[in-house]
Amino acid sequence: MQENENGTNQPSELTEIEQALAESGNQPDEELGEAPIASNRRIAKNAILLYFRMFISMAVGFYTSRVVLNVLGAEDYGIKSVVGGIIAMMGFLTTSMSGATSRFLTYELGRNDKKRLSETFTSAMIIHVAIALIVFVLAETIGLWFLENKLVIPEHRMVAARWVYQVMILSTMLGITQVPYNATIIAHEKMGVYAYLDILNVTLKLLILYVLVIINYDKLILYSILLLAVNVLMISLYRIYCIRHYKESHLHFVWKPDILKPMLSFSGWDLYGNASNIARNQGVNILVNMFFGLVANAAVSIAFTVQTIVMQFTTGVTVAVRPQIVKSYAVGDNDRMSSLIYMSSKYLYLLLLMVSVPVFMEAHYVLDLWLKNVPPYTVWLVRWMIIFNFFALMSIVQAMGIHATGKVKRISIINGTLYMSVIPFAYFVYKYAGSLYSSFVYNAVTVFIGCLCNVYTLSLSVKQISIKNFFRKVLLPITPITILGFGVAYLPRLFFQEGFVRLVIVGLVSVIVIFSITYFTAEQEVKELIKKRIRRYVRFGKHSDANI
């Protein structure tokens, strides 16, 4: 669907939208006859599969983090975190190209251009092999020098740190060349592959814990080598799946400057923002090491782990909805694109709120239950990272829309500058005030400002998006629900002692209140969709009972 000079949609192009959506696997809904409904079904199905994957990963993640911390100890756990941070800082090239690869593959798939899709995949692979070589050179020169001369690591653990570092370099290089394959699976919206293979992944990681306990060897070195082995196996399985199911993933050398140039331009402008994002996280981690030591690094690492696990409750839906946003823009359906962005921003935030409130309110007990030996600073670091998540989630949704348009220059410069400002701020405060939490507070503020900038930037390309509509459709509805959610979750603290009972009560009360308000204030179409799904499940259940 294209727009004429007056900004109105041309009805004659509607069939092209339906055809493009059908070609991408979204057949019209049998009952309603609307392609967008079929697309919503696919989003819901993929979200459920990714939630299935997430619950398993989350459960294993909580357990493995606890065991690894206890087995390695706070010192080695801190070494793993800070050494890994050096490699992660060099991964900014990968992050930029990952976004470009996903966007261009999904865009060509939405246009149903098979030849162009195949050429795009091969071009992406050429770029990622080059990136892997660049990361190798940087890691073995600048990164190695930083490890040997700047990090605060006890002399008796330097050999282990060097082993971990080299293993992480190899693992990172393999991961870089894996990006086009993962992007292909996401573009085809085959989220079930992630769900099933992730079961194998987490099972193998549980076996790693067993090996760590029974084998009497340097635990940190052994842990890093075993993780590398698991990564190699999982990468191989993903590649085998892609090669067997998607013709575009069959490598054949082509040199297409008309494809390479826009991909490199896109990733080039995206590079500053992504490099700044990684530098912000890992730079602060290194500053924490320099001013507060390895125990504080362990606390920061645990806080990031909790942040990631909590964020996974919404990651599934963002991954599921991203291809639909890109495909909607590719065929000119900006109305659907804007609807997806507003709905995702609002309901993903509320979903995250239901999960985050009990973790925020009962952070001390949750961490004690999980880890037993909780490093200092961890409780309030976790709380500030949860606040950060709220703003980061909405910013991510807006960024998905901007990436669909391909116009990333403005947000890269603005957000990158905001992210980079965290490092000098942290250095100044750590040196002169000694407040560990201050940089995390400032970090949350910058992300919220960046979110508003993302909305404005997207509004320049999609007229249906605006700051006013974002406040009216997203921020205004979620604010009272947020206040009420935290308010009712605080009440049990007045009547119950800290413990499992209070955690359960806080969780139930907050979830019931937030879900109820969300449902009764939701748009009518959302209510009807929920009712329709419930009726279908009830009918299915009765039908199943009748066949028993």
How far, in Å, CA of 291 to CA of 227, rounded? 30
| Assigned token pair, 84 | 């890994």
Local structure of 203: helix, strand or coil: helix
Note the Cα 234 to chain centre separation in Å: 19
Mean pLDDT score of the chain, rounded to an integer?
77
* Residues paired with residue 9 on neighbouring β-strands, in sequence order: 3
How far, in Å, CA of 548 to CA of 544, rounded? 7
pLDDT band at 259 (very low <50, low <70, confident <90, very high): confident
Domain ranges of the chain: 13-547
* Residues paired with residue 3 on neighbouring β-strands, in sequence order: 9
Provide DSSP, 298-325: HHHHHHHHHHHHHHHHHHHHHHHHHHHH
For residue 7, CA distances in Å to 118, 121, 230, 461, 464 come to 34, 34, 52, 12, 10
Contacts of 327 (CB under 8 A, 6+ apart): 20, 21, 24, 106, 107, 109, 110
Note the Cα 134 to chain centre separation in Å: 25
Lowest mean pLDDT among 159-163, 218-222, 314-318, 502-506: 314-318
Say yes or no to pLDDT of 352 above 70. yes
Say yes or no to pLDDT of 6 above 80. no
Which tens digits make up the pLDDT trace of 215-255?
778 878 888 888 889 889 988 998 888 888 888 778 777 78
Pick 208 or 271 by higher pLDDT: 208
In the block, residue with structure tokens 């039908």: 543
Lowest mean pLDDT among 84-88, 89-93, 338-342, 349-353: 89-93
Task: Calculate mean pLDDT across residues 70-91.
Answer: 69
Nearest to 292 by CA among 161, 420, 435: 435
Percent of the chain with pLDDT over 70: 77
Which helix (H) or strand (E) segment holds residue 453: the answer is helix 438-459
| Assigned token pair, 73 | 């100890």
Q: Are the CB atoms for 274 and 415 separated by under 8 Å? A: no
Nearest to 299 by CA among 355, 371, 369: 371
pTM to 2 decimal places: 0.65
Q: pLDDT at position 94, please?
A: 61
How far, in Å, CA of 184 to CA of 495, rounded? 52
Q: pLDDT at position 533, please?
A: 59
Burial of 152 (0-12, 13-18, 19+ CB in 10 A): middle
End-to-end CA distance of the chain: 49
